[in-house]
Amino acid sequence: MRDLSAEKGLANLVLEVMSQLLDESVEEQLSLQRVAQRSAEQLGVRGAGVLLAGPADGLAVVAATSPSIQALQQLAVASGQGPEPVCFQRGEPMLVTDLPAARGQWPQYAGEADGAGVGAVSSLPLPHQGNDRLLGVMNLFYAWPGPIGEAQLMAAQTLADALALALGQRRKREAVRRENGQLRQALSSRVVIEQAKGALAARLEITLDEAFARLRTHARSRQQKLTALSAQIARGHVPADLLPSRQSSDPGPRSSGPGRQSACWRPGPEEKNGSPAST
């Protein structure tokens, strides 16, 4: 006979797992801690925990229902003993129904488990959809050695699948948000650089390409970010060594119209009194 109350409780827990992890206002580790606690309560096990993959393909403990479960998982990560590392390496569930009997294979782990009151463990992989690399491992710890019921295993697998799906979706959202932020920053930087190019080209009466070349050379020679230099110029503060000597020391009056003088123009001796040179 089907246990409808257990099925309903599992369904509610799956929804809770999805809701917890998709709520980006809550820190990921706190969400996973809540998921581990609720999973242990719903399945009636000794404890639960979650290990997540790090950037170097290692595992890190991110959730545990008690200090003793935390210590057991940390030992597994540090020593490579226990079902957790094996599950992560193989990408398949690992069920150890009699930990005392595994003392010959994992002496440290089995000893730590005995001290934590753990007699059996199931480690379930958290697959990353569209990616061969696992997100991590979900662990369920049982108080006594012995067979793990099929219904409990199916419930545990359902929870692990929901956790992997929600965690994957959260990571995708975070990646999209980072990418959008990078694009906005790149666009903003490009706008500032274009403004600086235009300002420098107009000031020196050169082309935009020449202005950009000068900006880049100046920034590189001083190990300065091009964006920072461009922002400075866009605000009207042009470094003196980017200007011809006359502009950097004394801008002086500039004429307008068809007879506009170049930035490097100097009056001749006959023009200093304001009279044209005699012919």
Give 118-139 pLDDT, tens digit per residue. Answer: 999 999 999 887 667 899 999 9
Q: Closest Cα to residue 47, out of 83, 30, 72?
A: 72
Residue 275 pLDDT greater than 60, yes or no: no
pLDDT band at 265 (very low <50, low <70, confident <90, very high): very low
Q: Return residue ranges of the chain for CATH 1.10.10.
A: 180-248
Across 34-42, average pLDDT: 90
180-248 is classed CATH 1.10.3720? no
Positive or negative CA dihedral for 97, 100, 104, 108? positive
User: What's the pLDDT score for residue 4?
Assistant: 54
Mean pLDDT of 178-202: 81
Q: Which residue has the tokens 């005699």?
A: 278
Q: CATH 3.30.450.40 region(s) of the chain?
A: 4-177
Burial of 237 (0-12, 13-18, 19+ CB in 10 A): exposed
User: What's the CA dihedral at 147, 71, 135, 30 to 10 degrees?
Assistant: 110
> Higher-confidence residue: 272 or 79?
79
Alpha-carbon distance of 278 to 213, in angstroms, equals 42
pLDDT tier at 246, thresholds 50, 70, 90: low
Confidence of residue 189 (pLDDT cuts 50, 70, 90): confident
Q: How many CB atoms neighbour CB 170 within 10 A?
A: 18
Domain spanning 4-177, CATH architecture: 2-Layer Sandwich (3.30)
pTM of the model: 0.64
Amino acid (one-letter) located at 227 = T
d(CA 121, CA 195): 63
- Distance between CA atoms of 38 and 121, rounded to whole angstroms? 17
Question: Which alpha helices (H) appear in the chain, and where do they start and end?
Answer: 4-22, 28-43, 67-79, 83-90, 107-115, 150-204, 208-221, 226-234, 245-249
How many Cβ atoms sit within 10 Å of the Cβ of residue 120? 24
- Minimal CA–CA distance to 147: which of 112, 97, 195? 97
To the nearest 10°, report the CA torsion of 55, 59, 62, 64.
Answer: 170
Q: Is the pLDDT of residue 79 over 90?
A: yes
Q: Are 22 and 170 in contact (CB under 8 A)?
A: yes
